[in-house]
Amino acid sequence: MVDDPDREDPIGADPRIASLEERLAAARRSEAERTRSGQQGADAGYRLGNQVLAELLGGMIGGAAVGGAIDWLVGRGHWGLLVMLFLGIAVAFRNIIRIANRRSD
């Protein structure tokens, strides 16, 4: 008799219990919404940081590679490496400034 889940409670449902369940459900929904929006913002910030890092490293490595190739072809000193490295850094910072000024969606 007690183990039968389909059997109704002879006393009846307490309205306070129903109210408590409604409030708990509302609190769970609002907490899920709050934590979900925070995770999306963190993911967007993480992606933006990775993009900035990629721009900076790509500019430096690309400039150094092109400058090293120019020096290897010309065969005189390391001026091509230095000039292209600084040019790559300047382009990387220009791209980072563009990323920072982009409007968020």
Residue 50: what pLDDT?
A: 93
- Cα gap 8→44, rounded to integer Å: 50
Please give the structure tokens belonging to residue 104. 């968020």
Residue with tokens 């590679």: 65
Question: What is the predicted pLDDT for the residue at 15?
Answer: 79
Token pair of 75 as six digits: 């065969």
What single-letter amino acid sits at 96? I
Q: Where are the domains of the chain?
A: 15-101
Low-confidence ranges of the chain (pLDDT < 50): 1
pLDDT tens readout for residues 11-23? 667 778 888 889 9
